Amino acid sequence: MPTLHMMSGLPCSGKTTLAHQLADETNALVLTTDAWHLRLFGNDLGQECHMPNHWKVEALLWEIAERALALGVNVILDFGFWRREDRDACRQKARELGVACKLHYLDVPHDELRRRLRERNANPPDGVFLIPVEMMEMYLSHFAAPTADELESLSP
């Protein structure tokens, strides 16, 4: 049975790095919103169009994920999954598709996230947004960490 993997965590927590390691271990397709967003729309972070563009990318990647899962391919959604309702919706989609679903949460101390962000902004790799430190502060207050029961759940 194919598995839908959700990568949950804040920017600079290591989601994409872990996603690619997991992909090698599980022969999975990795779908990362930031890489697609940047290629399609550029670095529009902080602009009014950013979130509408983000939702377009996410919808497109979901279509690809659903087809890949139907073909029996493991999929890793490197979306961040900051909100419980987004994680619940993903688990529901997995149930509807009849595939397993696993949540991978990267819990990194806030000081370490800030350090990694400064390092990343100083020498940005391809496929990542340059995030002002002030924006990271806002992200820290908006992120809803997964609960213990979410981390234990595997569906269907």
pLDDT at residue 141 above 60? Answer: yes
Q: What is the mean pLDDT of residues 134-152?
A: 90
Q: What proportion of the chain, given as a percentage, has pLDDT over 90?
A: 85
What was the pLDDT predicted at 79?
A: 94
Separation between Cα atoms, residue 108 and residue 112, nearest integer Å: 7
What was the pLDDT predicted at 153?
A: 60
CB-count exposure of residue 34 (10 Å: 0-12, 13-18, 19+)? buried
Q: What are phi and psi of 138, to 5 degrees?
A: -65, -40
pLDDT at residue 156 above 80? Answer: no
Q: What proportion of the chain, given as a percentage, has pLDDT over 70?
A: 97
Domain CATH number, residue 99: 3.40.50.300
pLDDT at residue 26 above 80? Answer: yes
pLDDT at residue 97 above 70? Answer: yes
DSSP code of residue 4: E
Range(s) of the domain holding residue 132: 3-152
Q: What is the mean pLDDT of residues 64-88?
A: 96
Average pLDDT, the chain: 93
What was the pLDDT predicted at 149?
A: 86
Of the pLDDT bands very low, low, confident and very high (cuts 50, 70, 90), residue 44 is very high
The tens digit of pLDDT for each residue in 102-118 reads 999 999 999 999 999 99
What was the pLDDT predicted at 154?
A: 54
CB 2 within 8 A of CB 48: no
Separation between Cα atoms, residue 117 and residue 96, nearest integer Å: 37
pLDDT at residue 63 above 80? Answer: yes
Domain count, the chain: 1
Q: What is the mean pLDDT of residues 109-135?
A: 91
Separation between Cα atoms, residue 59 and residue 46, nearest integer Å: 21
Separation between Cα atoms, residue 11 and residue 8, nearest integer Å: 10
What was the pLDDT predicted at 152?
A: 73
